[in-house]
Amino acid sequence: MFKALPTGAAAMVALGLLGPASAAPLPDSPGVAWGAGSNGRLGTGYTTDAVSPLAIRGPAFSAITAGTYHSCGISAGAAYCWGEGANGRLGTGTFTDQPLPTSVQASGRLFTAITAGSRHTCALDTAGQAYCWGEGGSGRLGTGTTNDSVVPVPVDTSGALAGKTLSAITAGWDYTCALDTAGQAYCWGYGGAGQLGNGSLGNKYIPTPVASGTWTAMDAGVNHTCAIATDGTASCWGEGSVGQLGTGTSTPAPTPTAVDSTATWSTISAGDQFACALTTAAAPYCWGEGESGRLGNDSIGRRKSPDLVTVNGALTGRTLTSVTTGTSHACALDTEGLAYCWGNGFAGRLGTGNTTSVRVPTPVDTSGTLLGRQLSAIVAGSADTLALVAGGPLPTIPNAPTAVRATAGNRQATVTWTPATDGGSPVTSFTVTSKPGNHVCSATAPPCVVTGLGNNRAYAFVVSATNRIGTSAQSELSPSVTPIAPTPAPARPKMTFVKVKVGHHHARMRYKSVPAKAKAQYRMMTRKGKFPRWHKLHASSWRFRVQSGRRYVIKLRVTTAAGHSPVRVVKFRVR
């Protein structure tokens, strides 16, 4: 738990991550993260959880580490941290949270390994000297005091570390351990459960030798520590109440105590009340608390001795290369660069695309960011998981659209925007949301018409973009617009009544119209059967001369600003 993914071959072997002593350093590689995103610990630029792997938006890393609410990495020797900044655990000189990888203020010092604890961080420089920063309670920084530090400070070398060169370092919950190049182990910080391995239960403010053993790998958990000796056997020490020491009992041990197994081990990882390890034959075992299925053996029961992780199902035919434990979940990598996780699925820490807890190894989602890619290393944090990816840059979620503008209509608005960078994966849709009301429309490109709005109410709009990796943050709010019902078009006039009374020499025509004051016009057919232009009528009753024996055809209409009425045709013959 809280281990680093280191760079140097010796450091890799010391942390049991990459196999034999001849293992080459990891190249700088893109990072991914999934699980709880609070305080920005995933390094994606956001604080939301992720149920599937997302790219860490920072440089390529040669080592990464996951703590409780923060994470760190090394790129080209420089240290970066992100997540919660309380106590100075990010080493940036402030207490401010950082949602993206941010440079540690190390005065140009280069590092080879880095490890994050609960509220502190430690690293090794190229000379094998340890530096720590963050909370100093219980002496976990190893400086001889309990002072916090917002920047890296050297671990004390006046005592047990005098003349020693460190090759690996691992941070537990509130303590720290390290190995030197001769395989000797040292621990400092909180020792109340015996996790420092020196035979006492007291705190140590400077590095203190572990009571016995020569080690090739070591990992600090919440309140117990496990290590692999030069002969391949494993030992653990510290709190043992639920079998997390793997000794076959529930007895705590303040000094290294052999794990109850005849196997030889290549990798070991201590979590919160449990531990997991790989044998040299790549068989995975776990022991301790089984709640949420964290032992991977298809049960939730405790095991006081190593118990084989379920190797049928997802692990059938797979050969594992590393295993890592968090507070209540574990993950592993195989030789194909595929990852598997099991245990508590809260906040998506298993990376399976959901938050379901599982009791057996389950493949991490490769349909998005990891499509066609291989992982080179993996590390479990408290409620998140980080990994390094072989190859070049990874696609990310898109950036939020910009320049959002809206034009109001009747109970709707037409929204436009400028798409931002797509994160290396084409945008498949944009989603427009009204504020207030959360009325939504979707489109593959601008514009998009949001319907269902209320008239005479102001609305602003945000836009997000989605690609196969995920959905961007929402854009800034657009300027507000107010939908308004259009002014009804004036109704066309109409004639409602027309009557002609014919006498011997005169005829009288009367009409009614809507509106009553509409202007009337008429056309009377000539003897030749033609209609001249329209003439105005100045009253609603019109008397005109007629001739006996003649047939009359008169067209009438009324007119307003809205236009003309339908034409009424009146026909009559004078006797």
According to the model, what pLDDT value does residue 311 have? 95
Task: pLDDT band for 1, please (50, 70, 90 cuts).
Answer: low
The whole-number average pLDDT for the span 269-287 is: 98
Share of the chain above pLDDT 70, in %: 95
Residue 307: exposure state from Cβ atoms within 10 A (0-12, 13-18, ≥19) = buried
Q: Between 15 and 540, name the one with better pLDDT.
A: 540
- Above 80 in pLDDT, residue 524? yes
- pLDDT for 2 equals 54
Higher-pLDDT residue of 8 and 155 is: 155
Question: What was the pLDDT predicted at 415?
Answer: 98
**How far apart are the C-alpha atoms of 208 and 198, rounded to whole Å?**
7
Kindly report the CA angle at 427 between 424 and 430, in degrees rounded to 5? 145
Q: In this structure, what token pair is assigned to residue 155?
A: 């671990």
Q: Tell me the average pLDDT across 348-357.
A: 98
Residue 544 pLDDT level (bands cut at 50, 70, 90)? confident
Q: Is-contact 14 218, C-beta < 8 A?
A: yes
pLDDT digits (tens, 9 = 90+) for 233-254: 999 999 999 999 999 999 999 9
The pLDDT > 90 percentage for the chain reads 78
DSSP state, residue 455: T
What is the bridge-based pairing of β-strands 541-545 and 568-573?
unpaired
Distance CA 65, CA 63 (A): 7
* Span 281-285, average pLDDT: 98
pLDDT of the residue at 10: 31
Average predicted confidence (pLDDT) for the chain: 92
Mean pLDDT to the nearest integer, 430-438: 97
The token duo for 213 is: 């053993």
Out of 129-133, 490-494, 533-537, the most confident range is 129-133
408 Cα distance to chain centroid = 33
Q: Read out DSSP for 185-199?
A: EEEEE--TTSTT-SS
Residue 315's φ and ψ, nearest 5 degrees, are -90, 5
For 288, the 3-state DSSP assignment is strand
**Tens of pLDDT along 399-418?**
999 999 999 999 999 999 99
238: left (phi over 0), alpha (psi -120 to 50) or beta: left
pLDDT tens-digit series, residues 301-352: 999 999 999 999 999 999 999 999 999 999 999 999 999 999 999 999 999 9
| Pair of tokens at residue 517 | 């004051």
Contact by Cβ (8 Å): 15, 168: yes
The pLDDT-based confidence of 90 (bands split at 50, 70, 90) is very high
pTM for the whole thing? 0.77
Higher pLDDT, 575 or 291: 291
* pLDDT of 25 over the 50 cut: no
pLDDT over 70 at 21, yes or no? no
Digit-coded pLDDT (tens) for 552-563: 898 899 998 888
Q: How far is CA 467 from the centre of its chain?
A: 13
Q: What is the DSSP string of 108-177?
A: T--EEEEEE-SSEEEEEETTS-EEEEE--GGGTT-SSS---EEEEEEPP-SSTTTT--EEEEEE-SSEEE
**Range in 440-444, 457-461, 530-534 with the lowest mean pLDDT:** 530-534
Question: pLDDT (tens digit, 9 = 90+) per residue, 35-68?
Answer: 999 999 999 999 999 999 999 999 999 999 999 9
Number of H helices, E strands in the chain: 1, 42
Q: What is the pLDDT of residue 7?
A: 33
Phi/psi at 304 (5° precision): -90, -10
- pLDDT on residue 3: 54
Q: Calculate mean pLDDT across residues 536-556.
A: 87
